[in-house]
Amino acid sequence: MEEFLGDYKRTVYCGDVTEAMIGQELTVMGWVAKQRNLGSLIFADLRDRAGILQVVFDSTVLSQEDYAKAESIRTEFVIAAKGKLRIRESINDKIKTGKVELLVDEFKLLSQANTTPFFIGDASANVNEALKLKYRYLDLRNSSLQQKLMIRSRVAKSIRDYLTECGFLEIETPFLGRSTPEGARDYLVPSRVHPGTFYALPQSPQLYKQLLMISGFDRYFQIARCFRDEDLRANRQPEFTQVDLEMSFVDSERDVMDIAEGMIKKIFSEYKGLKLDYAFPVMTYAEAMDRFGSDKPDTRFGLEIKNITELVDGCEFKAFADNCTKGKSVRAINAEGFASMLSRKEIDRLVELAKTYKAKGLAYGIMKEEGFNCSFAKFLTEKQIDNIIKKMNIKVGDVLFVCADTDETVFAALGALRLALAEKGNLIDKNRFDFLWIVDFPMFEWDEERNRYVAKHHPFTSPKTEDIPLIATDPAAVRAKAYDLVINGEEAGGGSIRIHSKELQQTVFNALGFSDADIKERFGFFVEAFNYGTPPHGGLAFGLDRLIMQLTDTDNIKDVIAFPKVQNASDLMTDAPNIVEDKQLDELEIALKNGNN
Amino acid sequence: MEEFLGDYKRTVYCGDVTEAMIGQELTVMGWVAKQRNLGSLIFADLRDRAGILQVVFDSTVLSQEDYAKAESIRTEFVIAAKGKLRIRESINDKIKTGKVELLVDEFKLLSQANTTPFFIGDASANVNEALKLKYRYLDLRNSSLQQKLMIRSRVAKSIRDYLTECGFLEIETPFLGRSTPEGARDYLVPSRVHPGTFYALPQSPQLYKQLLMISGFDRYFQIARCFRDEDLRANRQPEFTQVDLEMSFVDSERDVMDIAEGMIKKIFSEYKGLKLDYAFPVMTYAEAMDRFGSDKPDTRFGLEIKNITELVDGCEFKAFADNCTKGKSVRAINAEGFASMLSRKEIDRLVELAKTYKAKGLAYGIMKEEGFNCSFAKFLTEKQIDNIIKKMNIKVGDVLFVCADTDETVFAALGALRLALAEKGNLIDKNRFDFLWIVDFPMFEWDEERNRYVAKHHPFTSPKTEDIPLIATDPAAVRAKAYDLVINGEEAGGGSIRIHSKELQQTVFNALGFSDADIKERFGFFVEAFNYGTPPHGGLAFGLDRLIMQLTDTDNIKDVIAFPKVQNASDLMTDAPNIVEDKQLDELEIALKNGNN
């Protein structure tokens, strides 16, 4: 029953048929998206990756046998049809080819189809996601999904073209590597040849790309799959794709940022039609925290944070006064015009939100016609209140939120409050794209759990040259030659200038509390590589999945990955991971601890 | 001591400096390949990825301090130098820039270097391979290796350009997949979230690419890493790279072969300068076996095999006569002019070679001035001997080798003999490239061990349309729509038209002896996908590593992989695979069977 193509050759994709082809003999192939049988005429929408074309089976044109075959056609059958293109009687404005149709002379029925578990088309938007993932190959027939993956493919090509043009070489690095305890949890691969040992899948090609610089490849890139065995939050995947690059003979952040900025401008202008004829703004980490409480601020709206510590220092409100010492502060956001938008209950919800970021609470006040109504007024002098109103520029209808705590907590709480208010107030223009470089990150962060400093970026990041002396005296004050590109409040990518001096690397390892044995065990061969002539170098990595999400206007990462995994890291289509044969485990000389083998 | 670049910007790569730049101020950066101190002048060869440039430090030009710094320079130090390009007094013909040199005005010493474990340069060819692999990042500084990887990068780009031009979309498929018992041994990845279950790393993206066709992507490709946990022969790697493609709405082999042939022509003309203005020859599997005893014949030399079964049928030589039945044969190679090249001992070695392919032996004869001198003459009539001499065209100085056995053994033994003779006789023109398509492969092979037929290609390969009825009656006679491209006797790539009919797929699975339960267990979701409308489709995969080996004239696969593994699948540089922390295994709920944890 299923026919072969024989001598049929497609002449054009369905979606690429134009009015200029009217009168021509065309051969098209695809899936039947829908069909209507009017008795002596059958209309079918034929779908391929380029779009849809109406094809017409006419009982007065086709043989009786062929017409019967046409009548057997159901949704998702695959056909190849030859015929002449003609103008359509009733125009369909919804599709590109809506003014024409193909009158079929002859056709082949290439494949029949059972009724699909869900209808392919707009209606499938409401289908249960698990069902769509189980039949992912069917969901991928939906134009919205197919378009996103086609754009992904084209963007990857554009990136490769651009970086090649800039002198970068794509060099493949290993997937079967070595497990390093630093960083996230590795996916392990047991070795059969060396029982008891394991490879690790790469979390990033970091070490390899730096070695390639030491080797003299000068400019490297790779669109590389990376792996992290973490408990997945929404919109994370255990395997994800990085646009990874590294370049030699640079020690200014700007050299790498310029390459990256050019790449981002290229793809956002090509695929979003943005005019990006300006330099992306640059902001220090300190300023970003100060103004937005975040190192990836969404600058598409205001609601900036202001520091009012000085204004409340020594006041009688203990919650404020106790937080006016070093490392603590009192900061506030004026939610302009929010008085009418926030009920008491909604304000309570925002206070609860702040508490999830460890804040003990939020003080707040509402400016009414009759005056400033706030809980802490009675503890402050009139002058102090006036100063706050002036500094925060509070007008009638505004709501003031104040957080007093350690800087870290204040930033986290007010940063989150800011985003929540913007959403509540619908302040974000979804058509706007704000690109922002964040620079001068702290080199070290104090890790309470490990009771030592850890590298904020990674231990190969170079400190700012002028801050090198501070490594010994005040590690928390050392800034790194690190940079992140933030797009609309999301970290699109980041990187750093690396340390090229062996001595400096040693100093940093010492500051991180790594013993010589630790260093040898973790990075031994890598640190040794620095002994043999290392060029100044730096690099950066972008998360490709997230870039594609922004380019295709989706907030679901699964929309931009052909065969994604769900939050518990399983693939509903193949049912991976799965049990394996005992023989396979025997060969690897490993056993399951639950005793099932 | 190690300086920073400061405001230095490279103006040109060392190797790209030309005579046209004489008189210009240039800034170059790189590694010192060698240096000579003549007292008041120091000459150094500065190396970057483009080549070498001589730089001159002149004590009459530089400050005393700078000259002292120049005197400290040793091999593999990294420097950046500014100066004026001038003509060189003594020309060096061995390097591109041999007519010029840079007189250094000022320079920075960016990185010092310890004495490297081996000298970078031609001399390192003789260094122990294990040492070079341990310090791979240093060996990669050698121009010969660096050039190969740069070509690899450019070839990959050319392939992507070509396939994109042909309408193919590069689509990434998962690395964390499901283990399937068919095929080679999988690398497994234990799941932490689902203890007791495993992912498998892909042996190829086969299932995914066919699903993408079912999804309607129409033309897919991917330069994809693949994994096989096999005991490595020389020139195999546990992870290797495939150029993988698949296209829809084709059911003729030629459609896929044309795309692939275009790609191969493009890269071999771009990177080998070959003129490939002809169609690659096509040979059936049957003819290739018949003439060359191999499905990947090296056609750069003759020494073809001829079938002399008819001529010896019924003769009195039992070793011949017993092999004149169906499935067996007597075949011979005339090694023209080899009499003077082969001693008795060497002939014995060739007989031993044949035995390693299960042949019981080889009969042979030498045509001397005085007549044909052979071991089996006494058993054959003069007429029979004459017929053999005539058919094999044996002249004075020729050596005849005869093998009588099952067809399979005869082909294997004579195919190997042919290659050994060509090497002995130095018959292979290393500058010649023979491209050859092999088609019409058998669909099934009998597997003695499993006592059933197995798929020669894979179980989704389509049989030739006209051979479908034979699946039930004579599986061994069924030919597949499969094709391999052979380059100089090596399989460069291969593929097939796939089965797009569910019923036909079922018939093939039955012929392979898969029960319904087997099918469901192994390919359940995949076979189900065929139920919902499958276009006729086909594809192919090339081994990228091997293509690059041919393009860069190396027979060592490690030369074309940045960080290769050795034969026991370990990486001598990172020391992967390695032991991991007990905590990591505990989280995966697996234990080592040797009781070490």
Contacts of residue B146 in chain A, CB cutoff 8 Å? 215-217
| Distance to chain A for B60, nearest Cα, Å | 28
Contacts of residue B188 in chain A, CB cutoff 8 Å? 189-190, 580, 584, 588
Which residues are registered as beta bridge partners of B169? B220
Above 50 in pLDDT, residue A597? no
Stretch 152-191 of chain A: residues touching chain B, C-beta under 8 Å: 152-154, 156-157, 160, 164, 169-179, 181, 185-191
**Which residue does chain B place closest to A187, by CA atoms?**
B189
**Would the CB atoms of B78 and A136 count as touching at under 8 Å?**
no
Residues of chain A by 3-state class (helix, strand, coil), percent to 5? 35, 25, 40
- The answer for residues whose C-beta is within 8 angstroms of residue A138's C-beta and 6 or more apart is A116, A117, A118, A120, A132, B215, B532
**Would the CB atoms of B194 and A596 count as touching at under 8 Å?**
no
Stretch 533-552 of chain A: residues touching chain B, C-beta under 8 Å: 533-536
Residues of chain B by 3-state class (helix, strand, coil), percent to 5? 35, 25, 40
**Would the CB atoms of A216 and B146 count as touching at under 8 Å?**
yes
Which of A76, A115, A142, A249 should be substituted to probe chain B, the one whose Cβ sees the most B Cβ atoms within 10 Å? A249
pTM of the predicted model as reported, rounded to 2 decimal places: 0.95
| Distance to chain B for A277, nearest Cα, Å | 25
> Any CB–CB contact under 8 A between B251 and chain A?
yes
Q: Which two tokens stand for residue B462?
A: 């389509």
Stretch 450-479 of chain A: residues touching chain B, C-beta under 8 Å: 465
**Would the CB atoms of A227 and B186 count as touching at under 8 Å?**
no
pLDDT (average), residues A95-102? 96
Contacts of residue B500 in chain A, CB cutoff 8 Å? 2, 110-111
Q: Give the distance from CA B279 to its chain's centroid.
A: 22
**Would the CB atoms of B114 and A531 count as touching at under 8 Å?**
yes
Contacts of residue B562 in chain A, CB cutoff 8 Å? 171-173, 208, 212
The span from the CA of A339 to the CA of A280, in Å, is 35
The reported pLDDT for the residue numbered B21 is 98
The span from the CA of B106 to the CA of A533, in Å, is 20
- Point out the residues of chain B with pLDDT beneath 70: 1, 182, 595-597
DSSP code string of A536-593: -EEEEEEEHHHHHHHHTT-S-GGGGSSS---TTS-BTTTTBSB---HHHHHHHTEEET
The span from the CA of A433 to the CA of A550, in Å, is 9
Half-sphere exposure of A518 (CA within 13 A, CB side): 10
Higher-scoring residue by pLDDT: A392, A595: A392
**Region of poorest pLDDT, from A404-408, A580-584, B69-73, B137-141:** A580-584
The span from the CA of A481 to the CA of A465, in Å, is 9
The reported pLDDT for the residue numbered B597 is 44
* Percent of chain A whose predicted confidence (pLDDT) is above 70: 99
Which of B77, B111, B537 should be substituted to probe chain A, the one whose Cβ sees the most A Cβ atoms within 10 Å? B111
**Would the CB atoms of A577 and B218 count as touching at under 8 Å?**
no
Above 90 in pLDDT, residue A455? no
The span from the CA of B379 to the CA of B320, in Å, is 10
> Any CB–CB contact under 8 A between A202 and chain B?
no
**Would the CB atoms of B592 and A195 count as touching at under 8 Å?**
yes
Q: What is the pLDDT of residues A192-206, one digit of tens each?
A: 999 999 999 999 999
Higher-scoring residue by pLDDT: A522, B135: B135
> Any CB–CB contact under 8 A between B23 and chain A?
no
The reported pLDDT for the residue numbered A341 is 94
Q: What is the pLDDT of residues A307-337, one digit of tens each?
A: 999 999 989 899 999 999 999 999 999 999 9
The answer to whether residues A180 and A227 touch, using CB atoms and an 8 Å cutoff, is no
Contacts of residue B152 in chain A, CB cutoff 8 Å? 171
- Torsion of the alpha carbons at A565, A567, A568 and A574, rounded to the nearest 10: -20
This complex has an ipTM of 0.95
The reported pLDDT for the residue numbered A1 is 61
Count CB pairs under 8 A between chains A and B.
Answer: 382
* Domains by residue range for chain B, with CATH: 14-111 (2.40.50.140), 135-281+535-597 (3.30.930.10), 301-428 (3.30.1360.30)
> Any CB–CB contact under 8 A between A431 and chain B?
no
> Any CB–CB contact under 8 A between B557 and chain A?
no
Determine how many CB atoms are found less than 10 A away from the CB of residue B317: 19
The span from the CA of B476 to the CA of B407, in Å, is 14
Q: What is the pLDDT of residues A128-182, one digit of tens each?
A: 999 999 999 999 999 999 999 999 999 999 999 999 999 999 999 999 999 987 6
> Any CB–CB contact under 8 A between A583 and chain B?
no
- The answer for residues whose C-beta is within 8 angstroms of residue B478's C-beta and 6 or more apart is B442, B443, B444, B463, B464, B467, B468, B470, B471
